[in-house]
Amino acid sequence: MPSMQKPKEILDQTDPLVREIIADILTIEKEYLHFKNLDAVKDKEKEVFDKIISLLDKRVGK
């Protein structure tokens, strides 16, 4: 089995903009994984999508 790339190697090879967006996506995911935000799971899932879409809208091409 070929040896798998290490997480750091993957991030090092990633475009800085993509890396920053990924960090922001993980922050959103962490925030929404937290109990306080899970009162109504379905609505919160939509909030997560909307936040990520809005993040990309803001960070790319403007």
Partner 1 sequence: MKIIALTLNNFRQFFGEHRINFSIDDRRNVTIIHGENGAGKTTLLNAFKWAFYGGTDFDSGVGNILNEQAIGTTAQGERIALAVRVDFEHEGARYTAERTQGFTKVGGMTVEPIGGSVMELTWIDADGRYQKSSNSDNQINQILPEKMHSYFFFNGERIEKLANARAAGQIRDAIKTLMGLEVVERGVGHLRDKVVKVFRKRWKDESSGQLAAVLEEEASVLENIEAVNGELETVRENIAEYKEEMKAIGTRLVAIGASAKLQHEREEIEERLVGIKGERDEATRHARDLISERGFLAFLDGVVSTVDEILEDRRHKGELPYKIKEQFIDDLLAEGRCICGRDLLPGTPARENVESFRRSAGSEGLEEAFLRTSSDLKQIPKARVALFDTLRANAERTRKLREERERLAGRLDMISSELSKLGHEDAAALEERRQGLERDRDEALRQEGRLRDQLAETEEKARAVRATREELATKSELAETTRRKLEVAEECLRVLQALHEALSDQTRSELSKRVNGTFEKILRKGYWAEIDTDYALQIYKEVGEHGRQMVYEKSTGESQVTSLSFIASIVSLAKEKHQQGSSFFRGGVYPIVMDSPFGALDPDYREKIARYIPELADQVIVLASNSQWRGEVERECGPRVGKEVSLIYYSPHRKDGVDPYYVREGSDYERTEIEDGYHGR
Considering only residues 1-60, where is the footprint of partner 1 by CB under 8 A? 1, 4-7, 10-11, 14-15, 17-19, 21-22, 25-26, 29-30, 32-36, 38-39, 45, 48-49, 52-53, 56-57, 59-60
* Three-state secondary structure readout of the chain: CCCCCCHHHHHHCCCHHHHHHHHHHHHHHHHHHCHHHCCCHHHHHHHHHHHHHHHHHHHCCC
Q: Name the residues that contact partner 1, by CB under 8 A.
A: 1, 4-7, 10-11, 14-15, 17-19, 21-22, 25-26, 29-30, 32-36, 38-39, 45, 48-49, 52-53, 56-57, 59-62
